[in-house]
Amino acid sequence: MCRQAAPVAITRYESIKAHDGAIIRVARFEPADEPVGVVQIIHGFGEGLIHYIGVASFFTKNGYACVVHDQRGFGEMPQFSPKKRRRKRGVVPGYNYLLEDVKTLREVIDVWYPKMPVILYGHSMGGNIAANYVLKHNEKPYTKTVLEAPWFKLYEPLPKFRESLAKVLGRISSWFRVSSGLNLEDISRDKDVIKNLQDDDVYHDRMSLRLYTEVTRAGKHALENAKHISVPTLLLCSEADKIVCPKAIREFSECGNVYIKLAPFADSYHCLHSDINSAEVMEVVMDFIKE
């Protein structure tokens, strides 16, 4: 969840059209030579594509192109005025729109990088979306999936009354929003990461009640259907995570599915790719991709 400076050039920003006509903002990162594959990243809650420059640098140094988009309600949203941008933060018409945007970008990747293997990488809320995408869609397959600290359940779920209220208000409108109350100190053990987030004008903690309810439901669906995952999947678990529930991640890995490989990190915090042991984590990811 941090904006990372890294010695990699963004090849270009792209604007592609979603299934409902909305504009999806995309960044493409490429290695100096012909890429050996593509990593498509789905960012987490509160983030945007700009927070994955460091991750993209790692992949390009290993010969992979990297493609990441701003999810609806998140990222820089340069097409809107500052006032409208603030109103739209955390607001999404529905969870299925996020899945459809992943599908749209996957189809465009085939045009940009024809016949190349594509790996799907999702962090936190993005891990929830990635897991549900591969459960739902098979027509545009991924060769592998990486789920980093996926949000299947929160570390501290809402009380039952607030959960019920969120469902009711979320059904009424997608514009009812709340602050997540997320503690930045729980994101990473790297103090510079926390300082960057505090100064960040893109990162935010606003979330519509509809989105919260639907992500929660999708997390439950993923846990119940983990045995149906048919793509080799690396599951990165932060054992000291206080944002999402490590026990739920282990539950996902213990479904008996031979395609799922668990990689636990004993003392890590939620944002593994920017924690103090991020180099170790990303090497595990690359070993899995190259297997």
CA–CA dist 49, 47 (Å, integer): 7
Judge contact between 57 and 102, C-beta under 8 A: no
The torsion angle over the Cα atoms of residues 55, 60, 63 and 68, rounded to 10 degrees, is 70
CATH number for the 10-290 domain, one of 3.40.50.1820, 3.30.43.10, 3.40.50.300, 3.20.20.140?
3.40.50.1820
CA–CA dist 239, 139 (Å, integer): 34
Where do the domains of the chain lie? 10-290
Dump pLDDT digits (tens) for 33-83.
999 999 999 999 999 999 999 999 999 999 999 999 999 999 998 888 888
Q: By CB neighbour count within 10 A (0-12 exposed, 13-18 middle, 19+ buried), where does 21 fall?
A: exposed
Q: By CB neighbour count within 10 A (0-12 exposed, 13-18 middle, 19+ buried), where does 138 fall?
A: exposed
> What integer pLDDT is reported at residue 9 of this predicted model?
58
CA–CA dist 211, 25 (Å, integer): 20
Which of these, 128, 136, 270, 147, lies nearest to 213 by C-alpha position? 128
Helix (H) or strand (E) segment spanning residue 212 = helix 209-224
Which segments within the chain are labelled E, that is strand?
10-17, 23-29, 37-42, 64-69, 118-123, 144-148, 177-179, 206-208, 233-238, 260-265
Dump pLDDT digits (tens) for 77-126.
888 888 888 888 889 999 999 999 999 999 999 999 999 999 999 999 99
Residue 267 above 80 pLDDT?
yes
Dump pLDDT digits (tens) for 195-238.
998 889 899 999 999 999 999 999 999 999 999 999 999 999 99
What are the φ and ψ backbone dihedral angles of 140, each rounded to 5 degrees?
A: -125, 80
> What integer pLDDT is reported at residue 70 of this predicted model?
97
